[in-house]
Amino acid sequence: MKTWTALSTLIAMTLSATAANASTWDASTSLDRFDEQIARGLPQPAFQIGASDEAGVATNALLAVESMLDTPVELPDGSVMTTYTGSWNGVPATISRGDGQLLVDLDAVTDANAPQAVASFDLAVATALPAHVHLGEPAIASPHVADDNDDLVVSGELGGDIRFADGSHGRMYDATWHGVPVVATRSGNRLDITSQSTTGIDITGFTAGSIRVEHENLPGGNVSNDASVPLGASTVAAPRPRVRRSSKIELVPNRLTFHLMLHDDVGHLSSQHIHAGYVAWWLADLLRNVVRGERVDVLYSQGMRGVTDLPYQYIGSLYNWSDAVRNFAYENRIPRTYKHKYLLIVNGMPEPGLYGRSWQKGSEGIASIGGRYPEIAHQLGHLLGATHANAEVRYSGWWCETNMIAPSLALRSNCYGYSAANMRLINDYAKTGVGFVADRRLSDDR
């Protein structure tokens, strides 16, 4: 964290960039609005403020506040400075409030010619929904028109909070893009759009201040029995720092909460990547069609000694995972109720010949990203009471399987959803918890 003797000195030293490329902005005129937003708690999604550069040229921007750094610092003149992390028009920023002033210092200077997809998205959803967002996708040749298919049309927010392993928070939105239903996930300096296609799941990613538009396709079909390589990933896992979570985990009481923990052998993938590729479509379907009107939280974890480094790929690995979760929940004072589900996401087979194992209506499961594509949705379905017996094979020009089909056939594609019978089972369970027993260890995947 930067140290200043006084905020007034900081203004004189750092406000030296032009309006188009300034790295520090004086937003003191919006101090009252800032204080009002912060008083509501953190994190705070993007809200509009006014600011000016060194020359006094005014501008409007979207400021999001993620968290407070350390503790307030007393300045020599007796005033107090508080520092926050957040973003300015989607670009990571350090925010300093004190001595009657508010300064926003960008962590990186933006490219004035870069498409501002992230900032455009924030402005649109902060104003009103439904909203049209022109993303400036280079692959699209047609000129921008307010209601054409080049716009991301955001219809509403999907309820709940997503907390990624790096501590950033995310929100998901229902939208259409190029006339196709999609899910938009906004987190940190990222905007990821997840859509289903005939070849699988398409992901388009935007980073604030960058001209690069990222594209990836994850094949949605079933794969062979070789579970050693995850879809679209390198076989070499980069080492990650080991940390043991000691601070209390912030939970919303009585809210359905999924604790998705990434095993160390998928450490080469970020939790944002896992979410956009494997989880966003499932969570959107759950919120749209199964537990309508409910708010659901998803908490990602990585690099936790004694939790995400457990050995597996042997008969009985799910039992040991359940023991680790029980200890984790006790240490973090997480109630052992049906509202909390824990899934270990791994690279290989949890047990020989199986891409996933979980306790029916229980708390713990293991799912591999090296197996058939909807394995995460399948195992979470078991934890929520869905069964193989109620799964369906549908036909609409070709055969597709709902999430709970077992065994699965490589010939068939995925329906990316649950059968009507399983949706009823999940909805009933999410409301009542009937059949849940703490430390229940009965599996439907044996």
Query: φ, ψ for residue 21 (rounded to 5)?
Result: -135, 20
Q: What is the pLDDT of residues 314-358, one digit of tens each?
A: 999 999 999 999 999 999 999 999 999 999 999 999 999 999 999
68 forms beta bridges with 84
Query: φ, ψ for residue 43 (rounded to 5)?
Result: -75, 155
Q: What is the pLDDT of residues 224-237, one digit of tens each?
A: 333 332 222 333 33
In the structure, what pLDDT confidence band is assigned to residue 73 with cuts at 50, 70 and 90? confident
User: 245-432, which class in CATH?
Assistant: alpha beta
Give the pLDDT of residue 262. 97
Q: What is the pLDDT of residues 18-70, one digit of tens each?
A: 334 447 889 999 999 899 999 988 888 888 888 887 777 787 778 889 888 87
Place of tokens 């999604």: 45
Give the pLDDT of residue 310. 95
In the structure, what pLDDT confidence band is assigned to residue 115 with cuts at 50, 70 and 90? low
Place of tokens 């925010």: 95
Which has more confidence, 263 or 133? 263
Give the pLDDT of residue 178. 85
Give the pLDDT of residue 44. 86
Report angle CA 214, 208, 195 to the nearest 5 degrees: 40
* Least confident stretch, 211-220, 287-296, 417-426: 211-220
**DSSP classification of residue 311:** -
Report angle CA 31, 35, 39 to the nearest 5 degrees: 175
Span 159-173, average pLDDT = 93
| Residue ranges, CATH 3.40.390.10, the chain | 245-432
Global pTM value: 0.76
Q: What tokens appear for 59 in the block? A: 């501008």
In the structure, what pLDDT confidence band is assigned to residue 169 with cuts at 50, 70 and 90? very high
